[in-house]
Structure 1
């Protein structure tokens, strides 16, 4: 069998996340159906990780195996002709059999978009931002400083997928202006993320920016390892998986 790697973008609004669900529409499910129409059978697609319901992607990576005689299919064009318009294949490539979209990854970059006026939110942006209102960016960055480096992020993990360790290393939290003067795009890079970890961090940083908790209290949350003591989870629509990192690409 030949292994094919795909890079995907999708609007997660109308999906119940990445992972197959028996009765709900998912990105993995739609992709496997499209592959089935091309190959005559539906190969299992392995993603770099799960995205939750309503979460988007600009650089989700996945792989599947196909017979060698079908490996030269122009996968990007073929799949985009079969897939619904809220999923698109950005790149396709043959990769060695030892490549695994999830286990070969060395890190990920997520982006979260905040909308900073409560007077209105552009209709074109409402599916992709959290209209959180005004915040103090300096307080948010001070709170972010407490999260940089290697820590136990148990306080920022929601109940879900079991993991061997809740220790992760966050190498970057930064922001830039978005598509509108009312937007900021927050960037999060780490060697891995726990379930809803980015959304929980965003909820915490917005609470900092509103003056509801102090940066010092963020350090206390890390040490306390108690999810119930932390601020509420940010909504899903502002979050997007920007890219997946692999050692061969550094």
Structure 2
């Protein structure tokens, strides 16, 4: 078993970079009677540190959403060799999760509030005969898609806008603002895969999945040119495309 030094010291703040397959989980955040990513990591930390630890995640990914670069932090009064901590966590965590890096950070660091940029990727598989080994990580679409039209509509979303039309129907009314700044959005194709990459200062609930659904509708020819501009102006969720399945979505990276 990995050894953790068991004596008190000044409280330290530790930043974790985490990768996970969200297929069998009810999202990041702890929920009653549900299996979540946060709960599994806290359970592992409790075994290692022998006390309850609460971690804070940068992004509250939904059920079925994956992550290649989720970030979380926690405070502890135990002196922990980071290499040992990472090894111990990966020993106790389920096989769908991996701690990629562990790092000491300033006491005031907050993984959610200090984030200045997040990048998500939505993956679409175009065709009938798909890959069963990769199936949990993409949305399968059998029809034809006009990539050029998807790119044109995506361009209108870059910049600072009110994205209320691209959030979940049941989104919280407690939000101070639905204005977000998309720094870049790209639509690319590699073989049968289409990747929609979006980098922004923040995202509304289901925002990436609604944008992806809207761009797919544009690619199908089900929307007139300039539709994304009109959807933004309308502020109406009904004007945008469908919310595509969560399994095609991955949190790629977070910048501080």
Gaps of 5+ in 1: none
User: What residue is the counterpart of 2:183 in the other structure?
Assistant: 171
Deviations 1:125-168 (A, max 9, x none): 11000112321000100110111111100000112343210001
Gaps of 5+ in 2: 1-10
Compare 160-169 and 182-191 and name the one that shifted more. 160-169
**Alpha carbons 1:2, 1:71 under 8 Å: kept:** no
Query: Which of 167, 171, 189 lines up with 1:160 in the alignment?
Result: 171
1:67 matched to 2:77? The reply is: yes
- Quick one: distance in 2 between partners of 1:216 and 1:176? 20
- Quick one: distance in 1 between partners of 2:43 and 2:81? 18
**Alpha carbons 2:15, 2:74 under 8 Å: kept:** yes
Query: Which of 17, 27, 34 lines up with 2:27 in the alignment?
Result: 17
- Quick one: distance in 1 between partners of 2:171 and 2:181? 20
1:132 matched to 2:141? The reply is: yes
1:39 matched to 2:49? The reply is: yes
Q: Calculate the TM-score normalised by the size of structure 1.
A: 0.94
1:120 matched to 2:129? The reply is: yes
Question: How has the CA–CA distance of structure 1 residues 72 and 145 changed in structure 2, closer, same or farther, with 3 Å as cutoff?
Answer: closer
Query: Which of 59, 65, 70 lines up with 1:55 in the alignment?
Result: 65
- Quick one: distance in 1 between partners of 2:102 and 2:225? 43
Compare 24-33 and 130-139 and name the one that shifted more. 130-139
* Count of aligned pairs: 243
- Quick one: distance in 2 between partners of 1:76 and 1:68? 15
**Counterpart of 2:23 in 1: which secondary structure?**
helix
Question: How has the CA–CA distance of structure 1 residues 98 and 71 changed in structure 2, closer, same or farther, with 3 Å as cutoff?
Answer: farther
Q: Calculate the TM-score normalised by the size of structure 2.
A: 0.92
Residue 98 of structure 1, CA deviation:
1.0
Residue 216 of structure 1, CA deviation:
1.1
Deviations 1:105-131 (A, max 9, x none): 0010001111011x2211011100011
**Counterpart of 2:87 in 1: which secondary structure?**
helix
